[in-house]
Amino acid sequence: MKDNYKILIPGGTGFIGYHLCLFFVKKNWKVFSISKSKPKKNRKIKGVKYIYCNVSNKKNLKKKLDVYYDYIVNLSGYVDHSKNQLITKTHYQGCKNLANNFKKKWPKKFIQIGSSIEYGKQESPQKEILLKKIDTSSFYGNAKLASTFFYYHYLKKNLIQYQ
């Protein structure tokens, strides 16, 4: 496997994003993290290129992301779940902006991270119900489910150019 893959991790300064960045830096990949805020001092990783931008800001995102990435793992989202409109804007609008930004130069893999709440209130382990209207009972769950629906239909309509 070549060691010069480029990976973009929206939400790379969060808990999972930090560990994912660390993993790929150790694999000698070129790692890019996009977040609206800087990482804490003790979580800044040498070898990661940090890009500061809110993914829900379409124009700013386009200016910041003008290169090709082999892989994208979208972990972006609004952490404070009490801010309902910001949750929807960041999760859903952010995923749309990312997808539209890379429409002409689609990565080898684009991984959209969802949530178990997308399956509604079920006992664990949840049964995966593909693309069924579900009452998630939360703005966060609805935003994540809308993002999953968006990507599914995006792929189905062949709006993405594969490399």
* CATH number of 80's domain: 3.40.50.720
Rounded Cα distance between 159 and 137, Å, is 31
Quote the number of domains for the chain: 1
* 48 domain-assigned: yes
pLDDT at 160 over 70: no
Q: Would you place residue 149 in the very low, low, confident or very high pLDDT band (cuts 50, 70, 90)?
A: confident
Rounded Cα distance between 70 and 72, Å, is 7
* 43 domain-assigned: yes
Q: Would you place residue 113 in the very low, low, confident or very high pLDDT band (cuts 50, 70, 90)?
A: confident
Q: For residue 65, give its domain range.
A: 6-156
Kindly state the tokens that stand for 2: 């070549």
Rounded Cα distance between 79 and 57, Å, is 17
Q: Would you place residue 6 in the very low, low, confident or very high pLDDT band (cuts 50, 70, 90)?
A: very high
Extract the runs of DSSP E, i.e. beta strands, from 2-143.
6-10, 30-35, 48-52, 71-74, 109-112
pTM of the prediction? 0.85
* 35 domain-assigned: yes
Q: Tally the residues of the chain.
A: 163
pLDDT at 140 over 70: yes
Query: Poorest-confidence range of 53-62, 92-101, 127-136?
Result: 127-136
Q: Would you place residue 163 in the very low, low, confident or very high pLDDT band (cuts 50, 70, 90)?
A: very low
| SS3 call for 115 | coil
